[in-house]
Structures are given as structure tokens and as C-alpha cells.
Amino acid sequence: MLPLTINKPKMKKKADVYPWKYSSVGGTVRVKILSGKDIANLYQLDRKMWTVLSCPTEGLEFDEKALKMIDLDSDGRIRVDEVIRTSQWLTRVVRDPDLLLKEADSLKLEDFNADDPDGARLQASARQILKNLGLKKDEISLEDTADNVRIFAGTKFNGDGIITPASASNEETAKLIETIAGVASAMDRSGVPGITTEQIEAFYTACADYADWQQAATKEVFPFGDKTADALAAVDAVKDKVADFFMRCKLIGFEAGLTEAVDVNVEQIALIEGNLAAAADQIALQPLAKPVAECTLDFKAVNPAWKAAMDAVTALTGVGEKPVSEQDWAALLDKFAPYCAHLEAKKGAEVEALGLDAVKAILKEDKKAELLSLMEKDKAEEANALSIEEVDKVLRLNKYFYRFLNNYVVLADFYDSEHVAMFQAGKLYIDQRCTELCIKVSGPSAEISSLSGMYILYCVCTCEKLGKTFDIAAVLTDGDVDGLREGKNAVFYDREGNDYTAKVVAIVDNPISIRQAFWAPYKKVARMINDKIDKAAAEKNEKSMAGLTDAADKATSVKVEGDPKEAAQSFTSSFDIAKFAGVFAAIGLAIGYIGQFIVKVIEGAAALKFWQLVLVIIGIMLLISGPSMFIAWRKLRKRDLGPVLNANGWAINAKSLVRVKFGKTLTSLAKFPKLTAVDPEARAKVTRRWVFGLLALAAVTLGVLVGLGVIKLW
């Protein structure tokens, strides 16, 4: 078992402090774990130098059993102290701690440290496991320890506090254990049902109680002998209906006028169609018998639907051979009172199925002490059995502990292209890109995650085939964001290759690249202009449609029988060509202004040399894009994974920067080959672009000529 406290040696002088090696990774200096000796001396590493102080055991792509083994207090979180205690125990029971760096799933028997008491015990347990499995070899693997049932199959005693028929020394005791297990059982480590101390005690107590309860029964308790139980059941089946009958009789005695109301409803029976024998349930709703003022019940003249039940009462109790009064019926019910009281006092019901004779025989043999003795022998093997289970712990940590340290003490796996960090859940494919930095989270946490400076897509992932649903935070570190929005669908693949439908539910907006920041102002202006043009066009279209509608209304409002000249004059007044001439003049004037501006730009550019013109253009572009690029550059230098992990329950103790170059390895973009052939549709698109381009050039040229006065439009 692991110690409850960390074994801290005496304080050393400054010169004797363990000589750690360091490297700069992710924007901060981190310790390097390069040997088993480093792992053994983790207790000397200043906690301020640990990258992680706490992490959850859920939602990680790591061996679950290994995480639970490190989580010593089983609270769902792994803290520094637990990591240190695990490292001290593991490096003590293994002869060469450098073996941990190999991450092998097996150990040779000689690899256990026999000089340490725990190591020697585990070595002996490893030999016992191999013996139980019938394996003759000098090493043990995780495959050998994975199945406890195989290891303990056929063992008489295995320290789990449960004995099985195999634990018995004779056939009679084995059968008794089977009998007790039939009443209450527990699953033994060997995979066979067995019994515990508590179940043995409860069984013998139940047997004694049941025997005493049966012994207390006298003849008065059973008024009808062995038929008492059946008689009570027969009476219980009709007693409510009998009580209803006597109440109807008493109502007639109270008021004769109620006779018809409480008697059989002839009309309801007459409404029953078809075979009356099939309508027994409806007929049973009618009174038990025809009520009479004398308040007597003739069992031979009862409702046919109740005849069989009443005959059963007569057959078992003798009541009903002649008409029965209410007092006679009450006297019959009173006869069952002792029996009912006896049933209420019943004890040991769990062993009743065995029968009274079998219960008495078990009590007479009294093998309870023998069973408890077997139990003591089993419990004596508890330490050995736990040691056998600890062998699996050594092997599992031998394989996974070093990898865990590379995700906890340092984030080496995250920054190493050959490994994947245990918090990386899989890959998200969206908008012609794939991001490998996907972290399972409990839900959107924009306030915390925005501190990371990262562009984050919060997605809900669902797999109907597996019946799983969870949330992820997918971090985009390259490309652009033009097509991304809330509600967009994507596909997520977990580390095992299972696919999930992913839907974007929230976005944390931050710069992705300098290139994106360079074009951002132009795209923003383009969107603004596009929105304004669309708005203005919509307003103009609405006004034009309204004008045309008014003109049409005025034109059609002239009477047909009126003067044609009057109609023409009315239409002419509604369609004033002077207005349209004014519109054309305004368009020409606007084109003229644009032309004059272009001419001045051309004249100014002509006065500059080519390299000066290039510098001017570059200066203008930097003036526009510079602020956006500077802000993006500062944010990209500070992109930190820590806040994202913090939002998922981690306690991150150091910066974990994701700079531009590293970010490109986390998000891959689609790369298409250059096409040598163009399909007809693409060729048509190119043609349309050329046509629109020539028209735009012609419009600009016309504007220049109008501005110079070469051409007059009016």
C-alpha cells in the first residue's frame, strides 16, 4: 500500500539540491524528466516549477485504471502530493527506475526490488499469479494480471471475505454453502457465487426465527387445519362483495322505496349484446344477490359471475350450506383473526422456501462455527490477495506513469510532434481544415477561455451509434474565419476513430494569423459597403416600385368614355420625362467627378517614379492594415492554453503558449493541386469575370473622358 505521507529526507544544503535539467518550452522554463532518478526525486522539485498542480481524472484520453491508481484519495482529482507518493512507491518497488522510461507492459521477476519488503512481497505475488495461471515464464505482463477471475479461479481462499463451495472440506459443508448462497450470495474473486460472514449470521438467525415462529402456532391458529390459508384466500376474494350485499339489504330495511335502486339493474344487463357468458366482468358489477329485508344471503342464489367464488368458500369453511346472516358471516371472519395475527408476527420468511424440516435439520447440524472458521482462513489471505492486485498496479504504472508525468509535471507530450497530450480528445473537421487541439469541456465558458487569446469553437458532439454526447472546445490556430458561425455543422473524430456530429454552439473570437489580420480591415470595409449597397438598392427598388404603382393607378383611373387626349395628358403628367433627364444628368455628373478624381490620381502617379509609387501603395496598405496586424501580433505571441484547461478543471501553474509556428502544426488546411484542365462551368465563370471587368473598365474610361470634357453626355 502507498504511504499516507510523503517521505521527505532531512534538509540538504543548497549545494546538495538535486541537479535538475531545464529547457524552454511553450514560453516558459520547464524541468526535464530524463531518467528514473529524476522520477524518484520529484519530491525535491519546487512546486512552483510544476506545470500542473491538479487535473481531473474524467474526460482524458488516458488509461482510466492508471489515473484511478494515481488518485489515491479517489476524489476525482490528481494533485501534486499524490503524484509524488506514487513516484516514491513505484521507484522503490522496481529495481531499476529507468525501466519506467521504456513504458513496457511487462516486467521480469528479477525487475522487482527484492531488497525492499514491498518489492519482495510483490515479486512473490507475481510468481503466485503465474502459478495460478499455469504459466512457466520469468516475466509477468498486464495481460496476465488483467483478469482477476482467471487468477483466482479454483482457489479455496483468496482473501476477499467470501467463501464458496470450493472452500469447504467436505461435501455436506459445500452443499450448505450452496443452500445459503441460494438465499443470499456475494460474488467471489474467482467468479463463483459465495457467502460472507454477514450472510452466514443472517441465515442462521432467519432459520432460528422461522423455527420458533412455526413452533408458536397452536390449533386455534389454524381453524380449518391445513386448509386455513386457502380458506382465508377464498374469503378475502368475496368479503367486499358480501359486505356490499348486506349494506343493500339494510338500506331496504331502512327505506322500502330504495328496493329498486339497490337491486339488480335490469336495463344495464339488457344492453349487453352477444354472448352473455363473455360479459362476466360486466355482470360481476351487479349486486352479489337480490337484496332482501331479512338480511340473509343464500349462497345458492347468488350472481352467476360470483357463484364459483362463493362455492369455494362453502367447500373450504362449510359456511353457505344454508342462508347466512350478517352475524354468521362476521363470526366466520373472526375465526381467521388468530391466523392473521400469526402471519403478522412471521419471522424468517427468507428461509421459508427451504421447508420447516430442512430448517430444523440445518439448526440441528449447526455448522455455523465451521463456516466462520473457513471465513477466517479466507481473510488470512487478504494481504496476499491484495498484493496480487498490486502487481497489476505496478505493471500498469510501469507502462503509463512516465507518460502521465509528461502531461503533468511538464507538457512535453503537447509540444512533441510524436505524441498527443492526454487532454487532446480527437480531431474536428470543419470548413476545409482539421484542428487537433480539441478538449472535452463541461460547456461553453467564454469568459475564461477568452483570456487564452485563442479562436475557440465550442461544439456539441453527438454519436447516436454509441449513445454518447459531450462538449468540446476546438482551438483554431491557422487559416481564416470567414465561413465560421454559430450553428455550423462539422464532424469530430475521437482518438479511437469514432465519428460524431459536431455543431458549433459558441465562438470565442480572437486573431488566428497575421495574414488574416492583414486582410481583416479590407474585408470589414467590403462587408460594410456591400451591406450599404444592398440596403440602398432595396430602398431604391421599393421607391421605384411605389412610383410605378402610383403611375399605373393614375393612368387606369381615367374613364374609358372620356377624351383620349385627357388620358394621354394624365399619363404624360404622371411620367414626367424631365425627372428622368435630371436622373441621367446626376449620373453623368457623378461619373464626371469620379473621372476627375481618377485623372488627378493618374496625374499624381505619373509624377512619381515606379519605386516611389510602390512605396506609396505599401505605405497606404500598412496604414490601413498596420494596427490590425500589430494587435494580432501581440495576441498571437500571448496565446495561452492554460485558461482553456482551467475552464475544464485543471490547475495550470505555468504559461503554455501556442505561438504561430507551433499553431500551424495543430491546425492543417486543405491543399489542392494546380488543375491543368478547366471544366466548362469554370470556363464560363472566367468569361463572365472578364466581361464584367471590361464593362467596369469602360465605365471608368467613360468617366475619365467626361471629366476631361472630351465627351458630353448632355
Per-residue pLDDT for 147 more than 60? yes
Give percent of the chain with pLDDT exceeding 70. Answer: 75
- Name, in order, each residue with C-beta under 8 angstroms of 509's C-beta and a sequence gap of 6 or more: 455, 481
Q: Check if the beta carbon of residue 330 is closer than 8 Å to that of residue 212.
A: no
What pLDDT is recorded for position 682? 65
C-alpha cell, 197: 460472514
- What confidence tier does 534 reach under pLDDT thresholds 50, 70, 90? low
Per-residue pLDDT for 575 more than 60? no
C-alpha to C-alpha distance for 417 and 419, rounded to whole angstroms: 6
> Domain boundaries in the chain?
14-152+382-415, 165-216+353-379, 219-344, 426-510+639-667
Mean pLDDT of 184-199: 92
C-alpha cell, 445: 465558458
Lowest pLDDT segment from 43-57, 291-305, 599-613, 665-679: 599-613
C-alpha to C-alpha distance for 116 and 679, rounded to whole angstroms: 76
- Name, in order, each residue with C-beta under 8 angstroms of 623's C-beta and a sequence gap of 6 or more: none
The CA-based dihedral angle spanning residues 200, 205, 208, 210, taken in that order and rounded to the nearest 10 degrees: -110
The residue count for the chain? 714
Per-residue pLDDT for 636 more than 80? no
Per-residue pLDDT for 435 more than 70? yes
Q: Check if the beta carbon of residue 474 is closer than 8 Å to that of residue 428.
A: yes
711: left (phi over 0), alpha (psi -120 to 50) or beta: beta
Q: Which residue has the cell 470548413?
A: 431
Give percent of the chain with pLDDT exceeding 90. Answer: 49
C-alpha to C-alpha distance for 164 and 155, rounded to whole angstroms: 9
Mean pLDDT of 133-153: 89
Per-residue pLDDT for 91 more than 60? yes
What pLDDT is recorded for position 619? 62
Positive or negative torsion for Cα 104, 108, 113, 118: positive
- Per DSSP, what are the bridge partners of residue 503? 460, 489
Comparing 574 with 433, the larger pLDDT belongs to 433
Task: Identify which of 657, 644, 649 has the alpha carbon closest to the alpha carbon of residue 54.
Answer: 649
Comparing 566 with 399, the larger pLDDT belongs to 399
What pLDDT is recorded for position 710? 45
Q: Check if the beta carbon of residue 489 is closer than 8 Å to that of residue 460.
A: no
Lowest pLDDT segment from 3-7, 166-170, 395-399: 3-7
- Chain centre distance of CA 150: 32
What pLDDT is recorded for position 264? 82
C-alpha to C-alpha distance for 249 and 294, rounded to whole angstroms: 7
Per-residue pLDDT for 410 more than 80? yes
Per-residue pLDDT for 315 more than 50? yes
Q: Check if the beta carbon of residue 452 is closer than 8 Å to that of residue 643.
A: yes
- What confidence tier does 11 reach under pLDDT thresholds 50, 70, 90? very low
Lowest pLDDT segment from 190-199, 368-377, 405-414, 450-459: 450-459
Mean pLDDT of 40-64: 94
CA atoms within 13 A on the CB side of 527: 7
Q: Check if the beta carbon of residue 176 is closer than 8 Å to that of residue 362.
A: yes
What pLDDT is recorded for position 599? 52
Q: Check if the beta carbon of residue 325 is closer than 8 Å to that of residue 355.
A: no
- What confidence tier does 712 reach under pLDDT thresholds 50, 70, 90? low
- Chain centre distance of CA 131: 41
Query: 10 Å Cβ neighbour count for 152?
Result: 21
Mean pLDDT of 70-75: 95
- Name, in order, each residue with C-beta under 8 angstroms of 673's C-beta and a sequence gap of 6 or more: none
Per-residue pLDDT for 220 more than 90? no
C-alpha to C-alpha distance for 374 and 180, rounded to whole angstroms: 14
C-alpha cell, 511: 486573431
Per-residue pLDDT for 530 more than 50? yes
Model pTM score: 0.64
- What confidence tier does 704 reach under pLDDT thresholds 50, 70, 90? very low
DSSP state of 381: T
What pLDDT is recorded for position 537? 66
What pLDDT is recorded for position 572? 47
Positions of E strands within 218-369: 296-297, 324-325
- What confidence tier does 261 reach under pLDDT thresholds 50, 70, 90? confident
C-alpha to C-alpha distance for 375 and 161, rounded to whole angstroms: 6
Per-residue pLDDT for 560 more than 90? no
- What would the DSSP string read from start to end of 645-707? HHTTT-EE-S--B--HHHHHHHEEE--PPPPSS--HHHHHHHHHHHHHHHHHHHHHHHHHHHH
Per-residue pLDDT for 568 more than 60? no
In one-letter notation, the amino acid at residue 304 is P
What pLDDT is recorded for position 452? 82
**For 474-490, what is each residue's pLDDT tens digit?**
999 888 887 889 999 99
What pLDDT is recorded for position 574? 46
Mean pLDDT of 386-404: 93
What pLDDT is recorded for position 13? 47
What pLDDT is recorded for position 633? 62
- Chain centre distance of CA 175: 46
Q: Which residue has the cell 499516507?
A: 4
Per-residue pLDDT for 387 more than 60? yes
Lowest pLDDT segment from 31-40, 225-234, 276-285, 549-558: 549-558
- Chain centre distance of CA 546: 57
- Name, in order, each residue with C-beta under 8 angstroms of 371's C-beta and a sequence gap of 6 or more: 163, 173, 176, 177, 180, 195, 200
What pLDDT is recorded for position 384? 78
Lowest pLDDT segment from 138-152, 215-229, 263-277: 263-277
What pLDDT is recorded for position 634? 62
What pLDDT is recorded for position 103? 95
φ, ψ at 668 (rounded to 5°): -105, 140
Lowest pLDDT segment from 55-59, 71-75, 279-283: 279-283
DSSP state of 300: G
